């Protein structure tokens, strides 16, 4: 074998080795962004690697135990006109709530476990659970940063027979360690989805039992009542039919359990004016109706203690609603999403407020809309109540 051939073979082997090393480095870089990477980079585990699955379990445990509590608030859904010429047919208000644990690693990147539920574009509830990783960079000396990364989640939708399917998405953000605003693009539907987060760094204290003097101590009962404003979406294709947003009132009873959990049984009543056209062209047959609804809901929520007398909460449950107009009446069992806050200015006085979203479906209650074409109004109640705790 000539000297030239030796050199050529050596060069090819070196190139192959470099390519293999580059591929290996790329794989390791990807693994580093996963929960397994969180375990492998932990200060108390230098070089002590297990299998990818074992490190994923360990990394997930680390994020869940050491991460800050995270309240997630869906904010806006954008349906771009280049793919949605009749964008007003779709829901743009993804009312709902979520909860997560967020760990800022030694490089300043975010690792987040989350579960969230919100109103999708078709006025149905959509749950998502998953993990996200975001690399962050400071914005000069403002105390803010911007970031980019990915979401690896699993969701299920009513328009896909509720079959679970993976949802890998890009994500970008701007914010600080406490308040942040995120956006993602969903290529399957060509939709932009935005959400906000509030992080409470209480990993060292959230496992401690609440003192008996706490206004949210285990076994306390809170009775309350108040008023609200009910948002009612038209929930149909572009039309002149309208539902007027109007006031509501509610009463409820809450039971605190353990350090973080609360159970609410609530009754809400609202009245809304409806204008509807009975002809297809929406030019004749205008009628006005009065829609009266009442809702009973039972929800369980997780509370995040921001201060001794102030907490945030998010949860879900089951509701039963009745609706009545001059045309007819109907009832509905449905999911309920809730998020809000509770403040105790005095030991036995609490103020609570929040957002309650129902997914009721009413049929035969609106004139000119019989049969299967019911009212999907997605009633969302913004409320404020005060009561007595004992």
Catalytic residue numbers, as ranges: 79, 120-121
**In this structure, what token pair is assigned to residue 284?**
């004749």
Residue in the structure block whose two tokens are 């997780």:
302
In angstroms, how far apart are the furthest CA atoms of the chain?
A: 99
Q: What CA–CA distance (Å, rounded) separates 112 from 243?
A: 39
For residue 365, report the phi and psi dihedrals to the nearest 5 degrees.
-105, -10
3-state SS, residue 167 = strand
Nearest 5°: CA angle at 209, between 208 and 210? 115
The answer to whether 291 and 319 have CB atoms below 8 angstroms apart is no
- If one counts every other C-beta atom within 10 angstroms of the C-beta of residue 44, the result is 5
Q: In the Cβ-directed half-sphere of 376, how many Cα atoms lie within 13 Å? A: 15
**In this structure, what token pair is assigned to residue 180?**
């942040």
The answer to whether 109 and 134 have CB atoms below 8 angstroms apart is yes
Q: Which residues of 268-298 are buried (b: 16+ CB within 10 A; e: fewer)?
A: bebebebebbeeeeeeeeeeebebebbbebe
Residues 6+ apart with CB under 8 A from 30: none
**In this structure, what token pair is assigned to residue 214?**
């706490």
């Amino acid at each position: 074998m000539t000297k030239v051939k030796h050199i050529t073979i050596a060069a090819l082997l070196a190139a192959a080795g470099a390519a293999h090393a580059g591929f290996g480095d790329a794989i390791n870089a990807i693994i580093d962004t996963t929960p397994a990477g969180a375990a492998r980079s932990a200060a108390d585990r230098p070089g002590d690697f297990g299998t990818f699955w074992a490190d994923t379990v360990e990394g997930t445990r680390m994020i869940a135990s050491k991460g800050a509590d995270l309240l997630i608030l869906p904010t806006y859904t954008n349906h771009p006109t280049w793919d949605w010429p009749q964008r007003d047919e779709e829901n743009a208000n993804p009312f709902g709530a979520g909860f997560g644990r967020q760990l800022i690693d030694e490089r300043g990147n975010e690792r987040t476990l989350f579960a969230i539920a919100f109103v999708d574009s078709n006025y149905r509830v959509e749950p998502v659970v998953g993990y996200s990783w975001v690399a962050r960079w400071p914005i000069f000396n403002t105390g803010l940063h911007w970031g980019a990364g990915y979401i690896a989640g699993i969701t299920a939708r009513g328009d896909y027979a509720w079959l679970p399917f993976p949802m890998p998405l890009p994500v970008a953000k701007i914010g600080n360690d406490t308040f942040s605003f995120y956006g993602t693009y969903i290529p399957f539907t060509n939709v932009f989805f935005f959400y906000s987060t509030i992080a409470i760094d209480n990993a060292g204290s959230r496992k401690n039992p609440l003192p008996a003097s706490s206004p949210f101590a285990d076994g306390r009962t809170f009775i309350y009542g108040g008023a609200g404003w009910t948002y009612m979406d038209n929930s149909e294709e572009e039309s002149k039919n309208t539902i007027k947003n109007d006031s509501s009132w509610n009463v409820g009873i809450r039971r605190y359990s353990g350090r973080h959990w609360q159970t609410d049984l609530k009754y809400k009543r609202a009245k809304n004016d409806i204008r509807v056209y009975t002809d297809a062209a929406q030019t004749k047959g205008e009628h006005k109706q009065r829609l009266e609804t009442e809702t009973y809901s039972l929800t369980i929520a997780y509370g995040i203690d921001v201060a001794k007398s102030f907490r945030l909460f998010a949860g879900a449950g089951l509701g039963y609603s009745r609706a009545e107009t001059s045309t007819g009446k109907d009832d509905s069992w449905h999911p309920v999403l809730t998020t809000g806050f509770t403040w105790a200015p005095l030991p036995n006085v609490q103020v609570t407020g929040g957002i309650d979203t129902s997914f009721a479906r009413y049929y035969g209650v609106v004139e000119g809309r019989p049969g299967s074409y019911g009212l999907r109004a997605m009633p969302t109640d913004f409320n404020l109540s005060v009561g007595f705790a004992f």
